Amino acid sequence: MASTKPIQCIVAVARNGVIGSAGRLPWHIPEDLEWFMKQTEGGVMIEGPACYAELGKALPGRGTVVVSRDPAKRFPGAERTSTLEEAVQVAQGMPWPGPVWITGGERIYAEGLPLCSRLLITRIHRDFEGDRRFPPDWQRHFTRLVSREHGVHEGLEYDFEVWDR
C-alpha cells in the first residue's frame, strides 16, 4: 500500500486577509509565483474551479484534483471530485511523491486547513481590496514558526513563512 503523503496548505495573504479579487490575485509578485511553483512541484494540488480557470490549465510537473459539484464543468489534465474529502483520497492515490497541497480558493482553504499539518503562507505587508479571504483564525492552529524569509518586489514587502501546528 502507498504511504500517506502529508497534507499542506500554500497561500499568499494580504495584511487584511484578502487572497483574491474578481477571480484574480490582487497583486503581481513573480517571486511568489516562483515560490509556489517550486514548493508544489512533484506533489498534488487540490483546488476549486475558479482557481483552475485562473491558471487556465493543470500545471505541469504535479498532479491536480479539482473539487466541483457541477458536472458540466471540464478540467482537462486534472482529476475531479465532488467533495474535498474525496479529493484528498484521490490525491493520496496519485503517483506523485510530494505532499498533497491545498491551494484554494476561499472554501477549499476553509475546509482544507484543518486537515493540514503545515502552512506555507506568503504574508504581504499591505492591505488589498478583494472578495476572497483566508480564514482569519489560522494562527490559533499553526503556532510553530519553522522559517521566515523576507522579500520585496517593486516596494511591496512580503515574507515567506512556514508554520507547523
Residues that bind ligand NAP (CB under 6 A): 11-12, 19-21, 23-25, 47-51, 54, 67-70, 73, 82-84, 103-108, 111, 132
CB 106 within 8 A of CB 91: no
- The residue among 37 and 97 lying less far from ligand NAP, judged by its C-beta, is 37
Neighbours of 107 (CB within 10 A): 13
For ligand NAP, which is the closer residue by CB, 71 or 95?
Answer: 71
Residue 18 Cβ vs ligand NAP, minimum distance, rounded to whole Å: 8
Shortest Cβ 54–ligand NAP spacing (Å)? 5
Nearest distance from residue 3's CB to ligand NAP, in Å?
26
Q: Sheet holding 144-153: strands in order across?
A: 79-81, 63-67, 44-47, 100-102, 7-14, 118-124, 156-164, 144-153
Q: Toward ligand NAP, which CB reaches closer, 19 or 100? A: 19
Question: 67 and 87 in contact (C-beta within 8 Å)?
Answer: yes
| Residue closer to ligand NAP (CB basis): 43 or 104 | 104
Nearer to ligand NAP, 96 or 101 (CB): 101
Alpha helices (runs of H) in the chain, residue ranges in sequence order: 30-40, 49-55, 84-93, 106-112, 138-141
Tell me if 16 sits within 8 A of 126, measured CB to CB: no
Query: Which residue do the cell numbers 475531479 mark?
Result: 80
Per-residue burial over 122-139, b = 16 or more CB atoms within 10 Å of its CB, e = otherwise: bbbeeebebebbbbeebe
| Least Cβ distance, residue 13 to ligand NAP (angstroms) | 6
CB of 61 to ligand NAP, least distance (A): 18
